[in-house]
Amino acid sequence: MIHFRHGAGDRAPESESRLAAFDVVAVPGEKDLRRAVEKGCPVDRVRVCGYMKLEFCRRMARELPPVFDNGKRTVLYNPHFDVKGSSLPIAEQVIRRFMDRSSYNLIFAPHIRAAENMCASERARWQQLAVPGRTVVDLDSPRLIDMTYILTADIYLGDLSSQLYEFLTCPRPVAFINAHRADWRNDQRYAGWKLGEVAEDIDDVVGTVDRAVARHPAMIEKQQAAVADAFGNIDGAAVRGASIVATAVYAHRQGL
């Protein structure tokens, strides 16, 4: 059994303790190698191959028109689906805070699983928050997963999604919402929060984004180092991934 790690975020869920059951575990970068070993996966079973999704998206790179054409900066708001740590339960209030300010455009694009159990009336309620030319509400289009929003937004706002690191492949301002009053500063699940600014109160969300923009120059080197640790060498990731599979299958057939 060969396991390829999903994403490259910081949550390190308890399910990762099951990695020891696999014959080979392929991870994007050094960060996930360390965490796999910490969760009990023997180090000789772990292979670092780079982040294949980014390599694929670079090959498919295209000219993307801006989502908005009013010249204002665009915030991508990307809450996670797991409500235990996500800001999704207060997302409507967050969206309304941006409605009250005219300084930013907003793309509300939660994790694609956030809407998987929504009924039609729930979806309609979210869509009513969209404002043409100013606020996009997207619950399930391909843009949630093909990096369209990641590549075109100017600022990231979220909580626990690994899309943070995809966004930071091009260093930009990032901000986070501590919706659960988490004691996050010494918790590795929130390591990404040290790469931007954190809103501890919903009324400070837009102000936190303002600070993230103003203080971003001091964060660039930290963001670059974090991305390298998470994703490894992106160029050639797909070939390395294929080689990991081929080598493991060959070794198994040879009884090695």
pLDDT > 90: what percent of the chain? Answer: 72
Same domain assignment for residues 84 and 201? yes
Residue 13 has pLDDT above 60, yes or no: no
Reported as a single tens digit per residue, the pLDDT across 164-221 is 999 999 999 999 999 999 999 998 889 999 999 999 999 999 999 999 999 999 999 9
Same domain assignment for residues 77 and 180? yes
Work out the mean pLDDT of the chain and round it to a whole number. 91
Range of the domain at 201: 73-229
Residue 197: in which H helix or E strand, if any?
strand 197-199
Q: What's the CATH number where 101 sits? A: 3.40.50.2000
For residue 123, give both structure tokens: 């979806």
d(CA 206, CA 199): 9
Residue 68 domain-assigned (yes or no)? no
Phi and psi, residue 73, nearest 5°: -70, 145
d(CA 32, CA 145): 21
> Amino acid letter at 214?
A
Same domain assignment for residues 30 and 155? no
Sign of CA dihedral 83, 86, 88, 92: positive
Reported as a single tens digit per residue, the pLDDT across 87-131 is 999 999 999 999 988 899 999 999 999 999 999 999 999 999 999
Same domain assignment for residues 180 and 154? yes
Number of neighbouring beta carbons within 10 Å of residue 40: 12
